[in-house]
Chains A and B, each alone.
Chain A
C-alpha cells in the first residue's frame, strides 16, 4: 500500500532524511523508534505532505501511484492521515464546524448527519457536545489534543494512520484510552505507522503482529519484530546501534 523509496528530505536546506525505505501493507502495524533528531517526525510530516519538508530524492508511493508531489489535502483524501505530535491551536475555528466540513468533503455526508456522528463519536474520546464548540486545540491540555487527533482518525477512517508520538505529553488516563483506541482502529483494518520513544503505548497491541523500525541520523538502521520494543525499553538504543555498526 505505502511504499517509501530511498527518500531524501531537506528542511531549511539541511538534509534530514538520508535515504529511507519503508513498506507498509494493508492492515499492518509498524512502529518507528529512535532517539530525538533521528528523523522520525520528518518522515511522518513528509509522508503527510508538509510543504516545509522538501523531497530531494526518492518517492512516496500509495497504492501504486506516486503521491510525492501532492498537497496534504489530496493525500488524506487518498487515505494517508497524520495524527500530529504537536497539533497547533487554530484560533476562531470551532472543532464541530471544522469536523463537519471535513466529513462533508471527505465522506459526502450532509452537515446534519456529520454533526450527529461527530457528537456520538466524540463521547468515546471523552469530549462532551459543548467541548466541540471550543476552538481547535485552543487552550487544550496535551491529553485533550491527542484525544482530539484520535477522534479525527476515527471519523476519517484512513487506510494508513500515521501517529507521531501519540503518547507524549499525555496524562496516564488519556494514555490508556489512546492506546486502546489505536488498537481498535487497527482491528478495523487501518494500517498503523506509529512513532514513539516508549513501549508503553503498545500495551494493548499484540507484540507478535508488529514490525519495528529503528531510525538513526536520517536512516532506518534496523527492522525487526515486537521484541525490539522491549529491548529498547530495557537497554536504550545503544545496544542496537552497536550491533548494526551505526
Chain B
C-alpha cells in the first residue's frame, strides 16, 4: 500500500528541509549547525514512544500532512460549513476574533500583535517568532536554545530540533509585571514541514506574567504529528504561569515537550487543559527547582473515543525548601486510556512534594492507570501522594435527575464540578469555551 521509507530516505528529506529552513529564515550558521547535529543524532537515538512505531515516524517524515484537510484556511470563514457550525456552537469564532488584551496570534512565521502589546514592548516585554529572535538576539537565544534537552534523548527530540519551525520567544525584563494574560494561538498552515514549534520563555528576576498557549479550536492543523518544545527559564523570584489549552483533532499525535528551570524563590504554575488530546498525547515535562522555588503541574485531561493520554512529569527539588505539586484530574470516556506518572525527587533538605491523581470513569471500557513516584535522597523531605479513581455514583445521578435534569445534563454538571476547581486561573472567555467543549464531549456531541 504505502512504500517503505528507510532511515536514510528520512534523513535525506530532513536534510532538504534543514536547507530550506536555513534559507527561508536567513538563519545564522550556528543555528543550522544545531539542526545538522540533531540530524546526525536522529539515526542512533532511541524512539522511546509508546504509540508511534519507527515505521510510522518515517512515513510521517516523508509526508507530514493529512489528506482531506482543506487548503488555504486564512480565516474562520474559509472553513467547511460543518466545522464552522461546530465552532459557532462552541462560541469560538467570537473569542478568537476578539482581540483580547495581550493576544498574539502566531501564523507561519509571524506574530500578529495588537497595539497593547507594542506598548508593553517598550517596557521590556519581548514577544517574537523564535526564528526572528534567532536573528535579532543571537546571544540570548544561543544561551537558552536546547539547554534543557539533549538532541539524542529520543528520535522525536532529534527530529524536532532538526526541523523546528515556528514558536515564540518570550522575554520579560527584570522586575516587569504583566497584568494581563498573554494569549498565543498556533495557526500554522505550511504543511510540507512538520509542525514543530520551539518556545523559549525567559523570565528575568522578579517578573510576573501568565502565558496562555494553545488552540481551543479543533482545526487549523493539517498534520498527524505535533512536536512542540518549550524551554522556560525562571530566574530568582519570578512568578510565571503557563496554561496550555489543547483541543486537537482526533487524527493528531501530540508530543509536547516542556521543561523548566525554576530559580531561587521562583514560582511556576504549569497547567495543561487537554480537552482534545488527539489520537495520542504523551508528555513528560521536567522541572528543576532551586532553593525555595515552587512548581505546580496541573493536568486536566479528557479522554475520549480510543485516545491514549500519558502524562508524566518529573520534578527535581534541588534547592533547600523547594516544593512541587503534581496534580491531575481526568475524565475518561468511551474506550480511552489515561495514564499519569508523576515523579518527585527530593534532593535537598526541607523539600516538599505532593502528587495527586483524581479520575472519573464514565465508561466500563475506559482505562485509568496511575503510577506516582516519590524519591527522596534526604531525610527531612515531606513527600506524599493520593489517588482516587471512581465513577459517578448512581445516587448522585438519581438525585440530580429527580429535580428535572436528564441523564446527560446531570452527568455534565457532575463532570464540570469535578474539573472546575482546577480551572481557577483561566480567564472567563476561555472558561466558557472549555465548559462547552466538556459538555459536548460528555454528551457525545463532537
Whether the Cβ atoms of B420 and A92 lie closer than 8 Å is: yes
Q: Answer whether residue B394 sits at the interface, using C-beta atoms and an 8 A cutoff.
A: yes
CA of A106 to CA of B418, assembled, Å: 24
A152 to B399, CA, bound (A): 12
Determine the main DSSP class of A at the interface with B: mixed
A49: interface (CB < 8 Å): yes
Q: How far is the CB of A94 from chain B (nearest CB, A)?
A: 7
Q: Which residues of A contact B5 (CB under 8 A)?
A: none
Whether A71 sits at the interface, judged by CB under 8 Å, is yes
Among A79-87, A194-202, A204-212, the stretch that binds chain B is A79-87
Q: A92-B417, A93-B414, A98-B413 are in contact. Are A81 and B400 (CB under 8 A)?
A: no
* Of A51, A76, A94, the contact of B403 (CB 8 Å cutoff): A76
Q: For the complex, give the distance between the alpha carbons of A213 and B396 in Å.
A: 30
Considering the complex, which residues of chain B in the window 394-423 have a beta carbon less than 8 Å from any beta carbon of chain A? 394-396, 398-407, 409-410, 413-414, 416-421
Q: Is the CB of A156 within 8 A of B403?
A: yes
Q: With a CB–CB cut-off of 8 A, which chain B residues contact A52?
A: 394
Partner of A72, one of B401, B414, B417: B401
B396, B398, B401, B404: the one within 8 Å of A156 (CB) = B404
Interface assignment of A26: CB less than 8 Å from any CB of chain B = no
Q: How many residues of chain A have a CB within 8 Å of chain B?
A: 32
A residues near B419, Cβ cutoff 8 Å: 92
The one of B396, B404, B409, B413 in contact with A88, judged by C-beta atoms closer than 8 angstroms, is: B396
The answer, yes or no, to whether A128 is at the interface (CB within 8 Å) is: no
Which residues of the partner chain B approach A140 to less than 8 Å between Cβ atoms? none
Assess A49 versus B402: contact at CB under 8 Å? Given A88-B396, A92-B421, A135-B417: yes
List chain A residues, Cβ under 8 A from B402.
Answer: 48-49, 72-73, 75-76, 81-82, 84
- Does A92 contact B394, Cβ atoms closer than 8 Å? no
Among A52, A90, A94, max chain B CB count under 10 A is at: A90
Residue pair A94, B401 in contact (C-beta under 8 Å): no
Q: Mark A72-115, 1 if CB is under 8 A from B, else 0.
A: 11011100011010011111111001100110011000000000
Chain A residues, Cβ within 8 Å of B404: 73, 76-77, 102, 105-106, 156
C-alpha gap A105/B419 in the complex (Å)? 23
Q: Which B residues are CB-close (under 8 A) to A89?
A: 396
Specify which chain A residues have a CB less than 8 angstroms from the CB of B393 in the assembled complex. Answer: 88
Using Cβ atoms and an 8 Å threshold, which residues of chain B touch A72? Answer: 398, 401-402
9 contacts between A and B (CB under 8 A): A76-B403, A76-B404, A89-B396, A90-B396, A91-B417, A92-B417, A93-B417, A102-B403, A102-B405
